[in-house]
Chain A
Amino acid sequence: MQLDTAILIGLLFGVGIYLIQQRSFARILFGFLILSNAANLFVLSMSGRPDGKRSPIVDQYTQPSVDPLPQALILTAIVIGFGVAAYVVFLLYRLFLEQKSANAHDLFNQVEEEEGTE
């Protein structure tokens, strides 16, 4: 049982989701970053309790090592998350440039009209 890790992951998910629902772009961005790291931590915790195990580097097999696969998975996920985060920064910045506002509430509460003309 990894209660401490589980609580930390739950906390991170909660904080991430809370921040995504905020109005300021900066908070939304941090929300996304925390959320993707919470997911990464969740996958990492799937390799089981690391107590008394050595890191998975091939040398002498004297003591059992932790499962290396979740680490390999989150390595990929971190890189992908980094790429997507870069895109989020770009999109939020472009929204800021177009709308002259860094407030999601202002952005989506404008009077909506369907755009039909070119």
Chain B
Amino acid sequence: MNWIILPFLLPLVTGLACLAAGVRTPIRRGLGVVSAAAQLAIAIYWVARCSGGAIYTLNIGAWTAPLGIVVVIDLLAALMLLLSAITGLAAISYGIFETEPGKEHPLRIPLLQFLVAGINLSFTTGDLFNLFVAFEIMLIASYGLMTLEASGRSIKHAYPYLAINFVGSALFLCGAGLAYRLFGTLNFADIAMRAKQMPDDPLVYLLALLFLIVTATKAGIFPLYYWLPKSYPIMPAPVAALYSGMLTKVGVYVMLRLFCTVFPHDLTSLHTTIAWLAGATMIFGVLGAISRSTIRGILSFHILSQIGFMVLAIGFFTDLAITACILYIVHHIVVKASLFLVGGTARHLNGTDKLDDMGGLWKVTPVLGIVFLLQAMSLAGIPPLSGFWGKYLIVVTGMELQQYWLVAASIIASILTLFSMLKIWLSAFWAPEPREGVRTHVRGWKAMTGVPAAMAITSLVIGLGVPLFFGLAQTAAKSAKDQEAYARAVFSFEGKGERIVP
């Protein structure tokens, strides 16, 4: 039994087992929850094992790198695995409380598991083409899951998502081909070592630019974000929570991995481009959020402005900025997914999530109100909540680099985030009860509140225990940027035909 492949294999096998269980909902749900809990345990194990900065590799089928497919777990990948396990567990358990056993679509849990399998493989792979395959596993599962329970009128919003990702995949394939032509290898570590030997080659720039476009499509960076705010609101709350937490962050993670571990670090003009695109993403996302009048619409646009923060940190590209980016990803995934779940519960209680028709939730359920307020303030970046630290570090780095316009953009985005969070708070929680009253007879809404409440506690822990998480993020950033150590870990694997690091 090899533990490195388990974060990919376990959800895949669970998904197949759930398919075999067919329409027997209790078996499917039981499998889903047990497997998600096991994934969480495995992820915690990996974070603990990698926390010193160690890198673990597995050569699949004992074919050594660079010929074979290699699976790598370093601290950054382990942290991402932990986050995907938390979000997966939250999505499945919320779905169990929300939907009656007979009404749940028999394919929802299997597809969720396949989606998580694809996400986890893209975190752990050390090979460009394997990354393409992981993306496709993830995308095909996500296409299916998105349209599975969408109503007739809204299903058209899945089309832009499909179309842009189809084009993105074609570009990714071209990028993989170009990388093979340029370097004669698809292995991350091998590409990193060979790219060093060809400084100032315009083709390396071209390749990096191609992958910037591909990851920007996945992450929803300006100007490639049109699909995101349209398609996320059509999904049921737990699925939307998983998508909002994980799918765009896979794009950010791959951008982080490629620009830190694979491509040379001196692509300064591309880094500047990334930073300015991130600034535009922040502003457009937050302005879009202000124009929306439903909770799901507002939260979907806010994903964009938060993505802007992470990508801005990648654009700055100092050690501190990468640390801030990782810290921000950790904070964001937990907070964003739980806000979608709070929005889902509020929608059940009011029968709608149009802000104009909502109200009275504070009187009925102060717990939900407190959870929302905590997470919303954290999203806006109020100290000492978890969102503050990442933003603070990004602003500090921006000041050090004298990028005052970008710093100004990020501060404006934060203030406007606070504004639209207060809009939700005032209309849904503080406003008087609507005429029909609050639907307290909705099945299981108290249990549903429990899931985002647990995530709110997690994000409080991140915010208050920031020295620990800052240390983890710092080690993760250091080991992600250390291309030599990565290559040493990948090539020193004991196997036939051991290879010396070039």
CB 8 Å contact bits of A32-59 with B (1 = contact, 0 = none): 1001101110110110000000000000
Q: Which residues of B contact A73 (CB under 8 A)?
A: 129, 173, 176-177, 180
> Are A95 and B159 in touch, CB under 8 angstroms?
yes
* CB-nearest residue of chain A to B357: A116
> Are B177 and A42 in touch, CB under 8 angstroms?
yes
User: Which one of A42, A84, A94, A107 contacts B147 once the chains associate, using CB atoms below 8 Å?
Assistant: A94
CB 8 Å contact bits of B319-358 with A (1 = contact, 0 = none): 0000000000000000000000000000100011110010
Chain B interface, >50% SS class: helix
For the complex formed, measure the closest distance between the CB of B132 and the CB atoms of chain A, giving whole angstroms.
Answer: 8
**B178 within 8 Å of A by Cβ?**
yes
**B174 within 8 Å of A by Cβ?**
yes
> Are B354 and A80 in touch, CB under 8 angstroms?
no
* CB-nearest residue of chain A to B128: A73
Within 8 A of B (CB), among A42-97: 42-43, 45-46, 69-70, 73, 76-77, 80, 83-84, 87-88, 91, 94-95
Known: A114-B292, A114-B293. A87 touches B173 (CB 8 A): no
CA distance A69 to B128 in the complex (A): 13
> Are B154 and A115 in touch, CB under 8 angstroms?
yes
> Are A87 and B294 in touch, CB under 8 angstroms?
no
CA distance A20 to B167 in the complex (A): 10
CA distance A67 to B446 in the complex (A): 61
Q: Which residues of A contact B376 (CB under 8 A)?
A: none
CA distance A99 to B154 in the complex (A): 10
CA distance A41 to B431 in the complex (A): 59
CA distance A77 to B173 in the complex (A): 8
CA distance A39 to B210 in the complex (A): 13
> Are B173 and A91 in touch, CB under 8 angstroms?
no
User: Which one of A46, A80, A104, A117 contacts B133 once the chains associate, using CB atoms below 8 Å?
Assistant: A80
CA distance A104 to B162 in the complex (A): 14
> Are B170 and A39 in touch, CB under 8 angstroms?
yes
Q: Which residues of B contact A42 (CB under 8 A)?
A: 173-174, 177
Within 8 A of A (CB), among B273-309: 292-294, 297
For the complex formed, measure the closest distance between the CB of A75 and the CB atoms of chain B, giving whole angstroms.
Answer: 11
> Are A91 and B159 in touch, CB under 8 angstroms?
yes
Query: What total of chain A residues lie within 8 Å of the partner, measured CB to CB?
Result: 34
CA distance A74 to B441 in the complex (A): 55
> Are B155 and A95 in touch, CB under 8 angstroms?
yes
**B435 within 8 Å of A by Cβ?**
no
CA distance A100 to B285 in the complex (A): 33
Q: Which residues of A contact B293 (CB under 8 A)?
A: 114, 116
> Are A91 and B158 in touch, CB under 8 angstroms?
yes
> Are A70 and B352 in touch, CB under 8 angstroms?
no
For the complex formed, measure the closest distance between the CB of B100 and the CB atoms of chain A, giving whole angstroms.
Answer: 14
**B233 within 8 Å of A by Cβ?**
yes
Q: How large is the interface on B (under 10, 10 to 19, 20 to 34, 35 or more residues)?
A: 35 or more
Q: Which residues of B contact A80 (CB under 8 A)?
A: 133, 136, 140, 169
For the complex formed, measure the closest distance between the CB of A103 and the CB atoms of chain B, giving whole angstroms.
Answer: 12
CA distance A105 to B297 in the complex (A): 23
> Are A76 and B133 in touch, CB under 8 angstroms?
yes
**A98 within 8 Å of B by Cβ?**
yes
Q: Which residues of A contact B103 (CB under 8 A)?
A: none
**B143 within 8 Å of A by Cβ?**
yes
Q: Which residues of B contact A77 (CB under 8 A)?
A: 132, 173
User: Which one of B132, B143, B181, B351 contacts A118 once the chains associate, using CB atoms below 8 Å?
Assistant: B351
For the complex formed, measure the closest distance between the CB of A24 and the CB atoms of chain B, giving whole angstroms.
Answer: 14
Q: Which of A87, A88, A94, A115 has the most CB of B within 10 A?
A: A115
For the complex formed, measure the closest distance between the CB of A117 and the CB atoms of chain B, giving whole angstroms.
Answer: 5
Q: Which residues of B contact A32 (CB under 8 A)?
A: 163, 166
> Are A39 and B174 in touch, CB under 8 angstroms?
yes
* CB-nearest residue of chain A to B355: A116
> Are B166 and A43 in touch, CB under 8 angstroms?
no
For the complex formed, measure the closest distance between the CB of B135 and the CB atoms of chain A, giving whole angstroms.
Answer: 10
Known: A39-B170, A91-B158. A116 touches B352 (CB 8 A): yes
User: Which one of A35, A70, A99, A117 contacts B180 once the chains associate, using CB atoms below 8 Å?
Assistant: A70
Q: Which residues of B contact A76 (CB under 8 A)?
A: 129, 133
Q: Which residues of B contact A83 (CB under 8 A)?
A: 136, 140
CA distance A35 to B170 in the complex (A): 7
Known: A108-B156, A115-B153. A39 touches B357 (CB 8 A): no
CA distance A45 to B22 in the complex (A): 44
> Are A46 and B140 in touch, CB under 8 angstroms?
no
Q: Which residues of A contact B352 (CB under 8 A)?
A: 116-118
13 additional A-B residue pairs with CB within 8 Å, beyond A43-B173, A46-B181: A36-B166, A40-B173, A43-B177, A45-B177, A77-B173, A83-B136, A83-B140, A91-B155, A98-B156, A114-B354, A115-B153, A116-B357, A118-B351
> Which residues does A use to contact B, with CB under 8 Å?
20, 32, 35-36, 38-40, 42-43, 45-46, 69-70, 73, 76-77, 80, 83-84, 87-88, 91, 94-95, 98-99, 104, 107-108, 114-118
12 contacts between A and B (CB under 8 A): A39-B170, A70-B180, A73-B176, A76-B129, A88-B166, A94-B147, A108-B156, A114-B354, A116-B294, A116-B347, A117-B352, A118-B347
> Which residues does B use to contact A, with CB under 8 Å?
129, 132-133, 136, 139-140, 143-144, 147, 151-156, 158-159, 162-163, 166-167, 169-171, 173-174, 176-178, 180-181, 233, 292-294, 297, 347, 351-354, 357
